[in-house]
Structure 1
Amino acid sequence: MHHGGNNRVVVVSPQFCMPQQTVLVMQEQAGFKSDDFTITDATGRPIFKLSAAVCSIGNKRQLLDAYGTPLLHMERKMMSLHGTWLLLRPSDGAKLAELKSSLMSLTPSIKVYLNDGDKEPDYVIKGDFRSKRFSICQRTHGSDVPIAQVQKESRFANSTAFLMSMVTDAQKYFVTIEPGVDAAFVVALATLCDEIYNDKE
């Protein structure tokens, strides 16, 4: 990966690296049932779908594109001490990344390791998970560069998004993704932050 102002981050597919900053609208999944969630852009256009795997009790999720094509399997690693989740490629089950949480520490964070064999995390997610205010950062040479921000309110929230939230009354939150960053990867991370945090409650 080259370094510089426009770090491209590709984990799932380059087709989800938008050239401009992108805001996606997600829903909190407190007590994630077997509901499927649609993740939209700020105008309400479906971008991704999130489904709970049938017949698994809170241990598997699947990220699909807007047309229902599987992009990513998310699977909780059984018998892991802290919530550890794996991101797997649907076609062959290859591990793309692993998330490990240390929410019990004074500075709660979730570390993301790509399947590249090194011991240092490639991404670090830190902030206030309870109030849905955290950053997803790429760790390069010991410094953390934000690639996405998660927050409950969005300065981009237009009237459409506002009306949508009035109608559905779901717990919405916003994910702002930097240009050139794999939106599918970011959505998976945001989903699992929710999941890991709800586990701890």
Structure 2
Amino acid sequence: MTTEQHYPLDDGEGDSNPYLNVPVQFLTKEPPKCVLFGPKFCLNVPKTFLIREKVRMNRDNCFKVYDSQNTEYFKVSNPLKTMRGKHVITDINGEDLVKMKKKLLSLHPTWHLNSGPKLESRLATLVFEFTMLKKKARVYTYKYPFPHEDDDTKYEHIRPTLYIKSDNTGRDFKVFDEVTSEVYADITKRAMSGNSDVLVEPDNYSVTVNPGVDVLFMVALTLMYEYALSDIES
């Protein structure tokens, strides 16, 4: 994946990281292999994140993202006053980072990934395809200056930079480079609990992000995959 030199969330500070709670020595010092939101979301070691869904009635914090030590990294909300299909990832301090927005009236399930000061800049488009055996998605990324979220969805003139593809079980996924086939993240979907009395259901997804790969990007891709699958299954 070709890296761009304009990262909407990069704060320009070389040794601090307000988003990933890790020692500085774990931040990547090499050019990132796959980056959308900035090198500050890239580590030099593989790391596994757990995405958990809270009870479905809670729209303000419908998903939370932890690591294996139960440290919280991100929250995901579906604001009550917005149209269905809009979700916002925030950091632990409540700062909005990314907006995921469903494209209505599309042939295939399509989601946009937005950032910028008002979450208005479209950085990537995901187009999902489902068959009886496998589920896959193409990930198209836009060059700076990024199109506005209200602009027409036009990705036919660019080639996808990433692919997401499941195995035959539909529970294990890989995010990999379109050209080199290098795997950037391994995703496992976990079974849901039928116990409605618990406040937090078991981990919905386990996401292992490889070194030099944008953690926030991989988390957002996983969540949009979940939303697309939920739409199809419902």
Q: Structure 1 length normalisation: TM-score? A: 0.80
For 2:114 and 2:137, locate their aligned partners in 1 and report how far apart those are by CA, in whole Å. Answer: 18
Q: Does 1:54 align with 2:80?
A: yes
Matched with 2:113 is 87
Change (3 A) 1:63 1:176: same
- 1:28-177 map, 5 Å: 28=53, 34-36=59-61, 37-92=63-118, 93-104=120-131, 107-116=134-143, 118-128=157-167, 131-140=170-179, 143-152=180-189, 168-177=200-209
Matched with 2:232 is 200
Q: Per-residue displacement from partner, 1:125-148 (whole Å, max 9, x unpaired)?
A: 0014975310011212xx421100
If each structure's helix is expressed as a fraction of its own residues, which one has the higher value?
1
> SS at 2:182's partner residue?
strand
Cα offset for 1:105?
Answer: 6.6
Q: Per-residue displacement from partner, 1:55-92 (whole Å, max 9, x unpaired)?
A: 23531011111221111111111221211100011414
For 1:200 and 1:32, locate their aligned partners in 2 and report how far apart those are by CA, in whole Å. Answer: 20
> SS at 1:98's partner residue?
strand
Matched with 2:39 is 14
> SS at 1:113's partner residue?
strand
Runs of 4+ in structure 1 off by over 3 angstroms are 28-33, 104-107, 128-131, 166-169
Change (3 A) 1:197 1:67: same
* Gap regions ≥5 residues in structure 1: 154-165
Aligned-pair identity (%) = 26
If each structure's strand is expressed as a fraction of its own residues, which one has the higher value?
1
> SS at 1:39's partner residue?
strand
8 Å contact 2:133–2:170 — kept in the other structure?
A: no
For 1:172 and 1:134, locate their aligned partners in 2 and report how far apart those are by CA, in whole Å. Answer: 13
For 2:232 and 2:45, locate their aligned partners in 1 and report how far apart those are by CA, in whole Å. Answer: 35
Q: Structure 2 length normalisation: TM-score? A: 0.70
Q: Per-residue displacement from partner, 1:107-163 (whole Å, max 9, x unpaired)?
A: 4211100014652111100014975310011212xx42110001147xxxxxxxxxx
